[in-house]
């Protein structure tokens, strides 16, 4: 991997927080490189810092030490105006504005720029609504009127409204029934291919991981202990990896690993 090809470059990252007067180290000398076009899944136990990593890539958390660059720029510079044109973020529960319609939720990042005419913003939001598989008839519904799967799709449309090359997903299929989760995975896979996106995803769901990942990166012991194709990660000797992939819930996923050759 070359620095020129990297969309995300994490070097010697320390993430440190003060909690009740104590210093909590979440990441220590963590390294990770993500190349253009990859779909990388971040996995790890509770408290391993997966969401902290996403927030650091997004520029919402500042490293205590080390560096994080995104598209050739320090990640903490992404929080300025127009950041959504470089990184899109799908939060675990959608994080839609409850007082905004579907259309207004999708259009929000473009409207915040205050540089485009209202009719162009509306048209762009409608295009993204259809891109995620929703009909225009849903544009003026409120979030309270949507199913869980529809909320995820609207949030995804908002994340993509400014055509960012990098998309971050936090538990994208959490809370969805199996059919909705499968449909959402198919949508992500299609958009990844058609838009040439680079995707970084946090997930606990092994079905989602095996269906989508080109690479898996495992957070444990405050660092990235291994990354690679799923079959290589599974073979790495570590207690978390054994429990996560080879425990009872991993048996179905192992069947998927044999079923989806692109994942290996």
Cα separation of 264 and 262, whole Å? 5
- Please tell me which residue, 225 or 260, carries the higher pLDDT value: 225
Extract the tokens encoding 127.
Answer: 């295009």
* pLDDT tens readout for residues 116-175: 899 999 999 999 999 999 999 999 999 999 999 999 999 999 999 999 999 999 999 999
Cα separation of 27 and 48, whole Å? 8
Using DSSP's 3-state secondary structure scheme, residue 116 falls into coil
Q: Give the single-character DSSP code of 38.
A: -
Terminal Cα distance for the chain, rounded: 19
Number of CB atoms found within 10 A of residue 176's CB: 21
- Partnered with residue 68 across adjacent β-strands are 10
Does domain 6-86+166-263 match CATH 3.40.50.300? yes
- Residue 211 makes CB contacts below 8 A (sequence gap 6+) with 182, 185, 189, 256, 260, 263
The CA angle 24-89-252, to the nearest 5 degrees, is: 80
- Residue 256: which pLDDT band, with cuts at 50, 70 and 90? low
* pLDDT tens readout for residues 220-255: 999 999 999 988 998 899 999 988 888 765 555 555
What is the mean pLDDT of the segment spanning 109-115?
A: 87
Burial per residue of 68-85, b for 16 or more beta-carbon CB atoms within 10 angstroms, e otherwise: bbbbeeebbebeeeebbb
- Partnered with residue 17 across adjacent β-strands are 24
For 179-255, strand residue ranges (E) read 198-202, 215-220, 223-228
Extract the tokens encoding 62.
Answer: 């500042």
What is the mean pLDDT of the segment spanning 106-124?
A: 92
Cα separation of 222 and 245, whole Å? 19
Residues of the chain above pLDDT 90, percent: 69
With a threshold of 0.95, does the pTM exceed it? no
The domains of the chain are located at 6-86+166-263, 93-163
Count of CA atoms in the C-beta half-sphere (13 A) of 17: 9
What are the C-alpha distances in Å from 133 to residues 53, 187, 215, 245? 29, 8, 26, 32
Question: What pLDDT, on a 0 to 100 scale, did the predictor assign at position 262?
Answer: 47
Cα separation of 203 and 215, whole Å? 13
What φ, ψ does residue 161 adopt, rounded to 5°?
-60, -30
What φ, ψ does residue 216 adopt, rounded to 5°?
-120, 135
- Residue 2: which pLDDT band, with cuts at 50, 70 and 90? very low
Q: 27 near 13, Cβ under 8 Å?
A: yes
What φ, ψ does residue 73 adopt, rounded to 5°?
-125, 150
């Amino acid at each position: 991997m070359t620095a020129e090809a990297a969309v995300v470059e994490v070097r010697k990252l320390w993430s440190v927080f003060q909690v009740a007067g104590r210093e909590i180290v979440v990441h220590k000398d963590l390294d990770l490189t993500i190349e253009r076009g990859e779909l990388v899944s971040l996995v790890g136990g509770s408290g391993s810092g997966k969401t902290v990593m996403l927030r650091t890539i997004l520029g919402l958390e500042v490293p205590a030490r080390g560096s994080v660059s995104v598209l050739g720029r320090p990640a903490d510079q992404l929080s300025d105006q127009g950041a959504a044109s470089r990184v899109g973020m799908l939060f675990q529960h959608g994080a839609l504005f409850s007082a905004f319609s579907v259309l207004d939720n999708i259009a929000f990042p473009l409207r915040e720029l205050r540089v485009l005419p209202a009719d162009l913003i509306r048209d762009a939001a409608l295009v993204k609504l259809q891109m995620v598989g929703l009909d225009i008839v849903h544009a003026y519904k409120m979030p309270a009127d949507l199913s869980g799967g529809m909320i995820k799709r609207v949030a995804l449309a908002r994340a993509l409204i400014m055509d960012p090359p990098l998309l971050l997903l936090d538990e994208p299929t959490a809370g969805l029934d199996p059919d909705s989760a499968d449909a959402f995975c198919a949508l992500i896979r299609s958009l990844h291919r058609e838009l040439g996106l680079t995707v970084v995803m946090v997930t606990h769901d092994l079905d989602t991981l095996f269906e989508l990942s080109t690479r898996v990166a495992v957070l444990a012991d405050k660092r990235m202990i291994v990354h690679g194709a799923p079959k290589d990660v599974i073979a790495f000797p570590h207690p978390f990896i054994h429990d996560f992939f080879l425990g009872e819930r991993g048996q179905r996923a192992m069947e998927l690993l044999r079923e989806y050759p692109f994942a290996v």
